[in-house]
């Protein structure tokens, strides 16, 4: 049996950095309003691939808590406990943000019906905020091809796809146990990486028109890639020296028109280089601030899109004439304030919603 994945503090920092990268990805349109940053508005078009990195990291992380257990057998009680632990960690905050957005839409509907306000859209009637998408989001299946995945809390399609990976993970672990310990990691990494890269190639070639882009398959393959990395029995002592070159290569690939599968491969290799928890980049990621940021990264991820929409909404109100921070000459400060407030809101949501509910629903605090 392959050893369980060991905790790696650099991974926590990596989560924090990736979460900020996703925030910046969704801030791209706003960059055009800051004269100093307008040229950078096209630099971050491929930062959505950081979600693929999150899938890989999640697969690696889950190996430490459940890989050995499901490698031996899949008992119904263990399967239920595993899924309940995931539910307790993910769903309360996810549901809270979704209900806040539903309350916002209902508030606009009430004001419109009373003749007090005429919103620039039809409340509960927009493609991104209509009842069918709400039900799909409530059930966490919005990315499964039944409805458009970019509805309500737009980035939350990732959580929906991750749920699919959690559902099949025990069966992946059990099936992989049939391989010898020396083969398990290389085979899983090789097959999952090849299949994930093929999926990205097919997507870029337009093979998935319409609402179904196979997001659950994408999550399962990349989750399996991360799990396979956790099953690698050994690694060269010099891999930590690859951290900076791989980081530079991955960063360059995200800012240049390189193919997505190349960026994915470089991001996965960079992640692998961190697993000794030593090295130049790992040391930077292990700092207290970065580890703290990683701890609240899920909350940052869930709250950032609604908050960005609220910030953008302010620019379309009369307040834009009276608040200097909304003026173009100060918009760089506006963007900096957005980041600060999003991180603060993420901490509040994590501290006062996610953690209390996880403790209440799953006192064992599953990994």
Rounded to an integer, what distance in angstroms lies between the CA atom of residue 365 and that of residue 143?
27
Distances (CA, A) of 326 to 28, 314, 330: 16, 8, 7
Q: Is residue 221 part of a domain?
A: yes
Closest listed residue to residue 223, CA positions, set 304, 158, 295, 127? 158
Q: Write down the pLDDT at residue 206.
A: 85
Closest listed residue to residue 103, CA positions, set 155, 157, 152, 160? 152
Q: Is residue 260 part of a domain?
A: yes
For residue 224, the tally of other CB atoms under 10 A from its CB is: 26
Report the SS3 class of residue 149.
coil
Check if the beta carbon of residue 353 is closer than 8 Å to that of residue 93. Answer: yes
Residue 72, H or E segment: helix 68-72
Q: Is residue 3 part of a domain?
A: no
Q: Is residue 60 part of a domain?
A: yes
Closest listed residue to residue 10, CA positions, set 343, 366, 275? 275
Rounded to an integer, what distance in angstroms lies between the CA atom of residue 192 and that of residue 128?
32
On the 0-12 / 13-18 / 19+ scale of CB atoms within 10 A, 7 is: exposed
User: What residues contact 127, with CB distance under 8 A and at least 6 apart?
Assistant: 133, 148, 151
Rounded to an integer, what distance in angstroms lies between the CA atom of residue 108 and that of residue 46?
34
Q: Is residue 348 part of a domain?
A: yes
Q: Write down the pLDDT at residue 3.
A: 47
> What is the C-alpha R_g of the chain?
21
User: What residues contact 202, with CB distance under 8 A and at least 6 apart?
Assistant: 208
Closest listed residue to residue 175, CA positions, set 228, 229, 232? 228
For 279-310, how does the pLDDT look when each residue is reduced to its tens digit (9 = 90+)?
Answer: 999 999 999 999 999 999 999 999 999 999 98
Neighbour-count burial for 33-65, b at 16+ CB within 10 Å, e otherwise:
bbeebeeebeebebbbbbbbbbbbbbbbbbbbe
Range of the domain at 252: 9-361
Closest listed residue to residue 60, CA positions, set 189, 204, 253, 218? 189
User: What residues contact 334, with CB distance under 8 A and at least 6 apart?
Assistant: 30, 33, 34, 311, 325, 326
Q: Write down the pLDDT at residue 301.
A: 97
Q: Write down the pLDDT at residue 2.
A: 44
Q: Is residue 4 part of a domain?
A: no
User: Which segments of the chain have a pLDDT < 50?
Assistant: 1-5, 366-367
Q: Write down the pLDDT at residue 210.
A: 66
Check if the beta carbon of residue 221 is closer than 8 Å to that of residue 263. Answer: no
Report pTM: 0.91
Check if the beta carbon of residue 60 is closer than 8 Å to that of residue 5. Answer: yes
For 147-194, how does the pLDDT look when each residue is reduced to its tens digit (9 = 90+)?
Answer: 889 899 999 999 999 999 999 999 999 999 888 888 999 999 999 999
Q: Is residue 138 part of a domain?
A: yes
Q: Is residue 2 part of a domain?
A: no
Task: Count up the domains in the chain and report the number.
Answer: 1
């Amino acid at each position: 049996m392959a050893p369980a994945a060991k905790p790696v503090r650099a991974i926590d920092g990596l989560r924090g950095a990736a979460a900020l990268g996703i925030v910046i990805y969704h801030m791209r349109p706003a960059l055009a309003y800051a004269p100093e940053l307008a040229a950078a508005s096209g630099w971050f078009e491929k930062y959505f691939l950081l979600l693929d990195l999150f899938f890989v990291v999640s697969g690696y992380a889950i190996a430490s808590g459940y890989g050995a257990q499901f490698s031996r057998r899949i008992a119904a009680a263990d399967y239920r406990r595993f899924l309940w632990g995931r539910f307790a960690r993910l769903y309360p905050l996810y549901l809270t943000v979704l209900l806040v957005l539903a309350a916002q839409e209902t508030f606009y509907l009430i004001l419109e019906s009373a003749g007090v306000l005429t919103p620039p859209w039809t409340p509960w009637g927009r493609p991104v905020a209509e009842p069918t998408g709400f039900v799909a989001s409530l059930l966490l299946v919005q990315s499964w091809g039944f409805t458009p995945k970019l509805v309500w809390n737009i980035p939350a399609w990732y959580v929906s796809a991750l749920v699919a990976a959690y559902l099949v993970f025990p069966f992946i672990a059990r099936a992989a146990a049939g391989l010898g310990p020396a083969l398990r990691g290389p085979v899983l990494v090789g097959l999952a990486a090849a299949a994930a890269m093929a999926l990205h190639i097919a997507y870029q070639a337009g093979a998935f028109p319409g609402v179904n882009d196979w997001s659950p398959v994408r999550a399962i393959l990349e989750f399996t890639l991360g799990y396979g990395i956790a099953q690698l029995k050994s690694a060269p002592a010099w891999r930590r020296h690859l951290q900076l070159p791989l980081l530079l290569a991955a960063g360059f690939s995200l800012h240049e028109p390189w193919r997505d599968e190349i960026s994915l491969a470089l991001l996965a290799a960079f992640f692998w280089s961190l697993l000794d928890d030593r090295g130049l980049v790992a040391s930077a990621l292990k700092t207290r601030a970065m580890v703290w940021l990683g701890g609240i990264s899920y909350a940052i991820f869930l709250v950032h899109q609604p908050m960005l929409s609220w910030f953008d909404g302010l620019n379309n109100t009369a307040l834009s004439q009276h608040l200097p921070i909304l003026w173009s000459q100060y918009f760089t400060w506006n963007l900096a304030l957005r980041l600060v407030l999003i991180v603060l809101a993420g901490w509040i949501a994590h501290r006062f919603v996610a953690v209390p509910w996880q403790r209440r629903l799953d006192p064992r605090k599953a990994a």
